Amino acid sequence: MNLVIGEEYKRSELHDAFGGNRQGGISTCANHDIIFIFSGNSGEQYGYSDTWEGDYYFYTGEGRYGDMEFKRGNAAIRDHESNGKRLLLMQSTRPTYVKYIADLACVDYNYFETRDFNGANRKAIRFTLERATDAGISAVSKARSSYPYKRPTKTERTGLVTSRVGQGWYRRALLSKFGGKCAVTGLDLEEVLIASHIVPWRASSEDERLDPNNGILLSPTYDALFDKHLISFSDDGNILVSSSLTAEQRIAAGINTNEKIKINEGMKAYLSRHRAELR
């Protein structure tokens, strides 16, 4: 069975040909290098929000109740490139029918808060998927494709898409660099950690904006203090605290002056520029 972008198919016939789950938004095909992603409007009332922005498609992961986790379909999307799987976006058109919209590649993901099917607040996963091709594809005969996780080529804040994708890539790089933990406190709650630039975006060159050496992964309080130049770090990683903070403010903010972070050579030039702005 050949699949052509822009053509409409009966969902049951897709599963007869390729296998995979007949219900749900993500269908992995055990005997084919394909993952079908099904999207429609029916999930909006339950916190699902899927939308195109330029060549990027923002897709909400699966899971009706409780926090979403990287299991089954969610893990399949995240790991599709390393597993040699293609992502095919199918859009609902009428009852039991879908249209083949595009081949996609997963370039990032993030967490956001929404409601589950019971109306309870929960953590959800939103994938950033990039359009991979507009050409028609034979889903049976095409060889495995490899879509590299790549650094964005443009970082100017010209719009929502470029800033979100650029920041997403950068945050993912810092999560990897710091092992998913706050560099100061060791907090490993990924959804609240912030990829903090040492030299701010506005003062950085094109390359510096996406240089992982120009960043520290921080918990919200330490990020705010660092961003306002109320704390900094020496080349040895020792925390430096602004003299403008009183002892009471330091205690209330939870600043531990004995904390020390790991510094590599690439970070030192950025930290020197940051320390020059310490208040």
Q: Which of 133, 152, 180 is the last residue of a domain?
A: 133
Mean pLDDT estimate for the chain: 84
Closest CA to 83 of 58, 105, 110, 60: 105
Specify the 3-state DSSP secondary structure of 209: helix
Same domain? For 249 and 177 the reply is yes
Looking at the structure of the chain, the number of domains it has is: 2
Residue 266: give the domain boundaries: 160-275
Q: Is the pLDDT of residue 92 over 60?
A: yes
Does any domain span residue 150?
no
Residues 116 and 58 occupy one common structural domain: yes
Residue 75 in domain? yes
- Same domain for 91 and 199? no
CA distances from 136 to 9, 132, 141 (A): 14, 12, 12
Residues 123 and 169 in one domain: no
In a domain, 93, yes or no: yes
**pLDDT of the residue at 91:** 93
Residue 153, pLDDT score: 53
Asked whether residue 148 is assigned to any structural domain, the reply reads no
Task: Say yes or no: 124 and 174 in one domain.
Answer: no
**What digits encode the pLDDT tens for the residues 214-258?**
999 999 999 999 999 999 999 999 999 999 999 999 999 999 999
> Distance (Å, rounded) from C-alpha 31 to C-alpha 34?
9
| Same-domain check for residues 215 and 125 | no
142 domain-assigned: no
Half-sphere exposure of 11 (CA within 13 A, CB side): 22
Nearest Cα to Cα of residue 55 among 130, 140, 143, 150: 130
Residue 35 has pLDDT above 70, yes or no: yes
Confidence band, pLDDT 50/70/90 cuts, at residue 151: low
> Do 128 and 202 lie in a common domain?
no
User: Same structural domain for residues 209 and 119?
Assistant: no
- Within its chain, how far is the Cα of 256 from the centroid? 30
The pTM assigned to this predicted structure is 0.65
- pLDDT at site 133: 56
pLDDT at residue 157 greater than cutoff 90:
no
Specify if 144 maps to a domain: no
Residue 106, domain CATH: 2.30.280.10
Residues contacting 2, CB < 8 A, separation 6+ = 136, 137, 138, 139, 140
Check pLDDT > 60 for residue 144: no
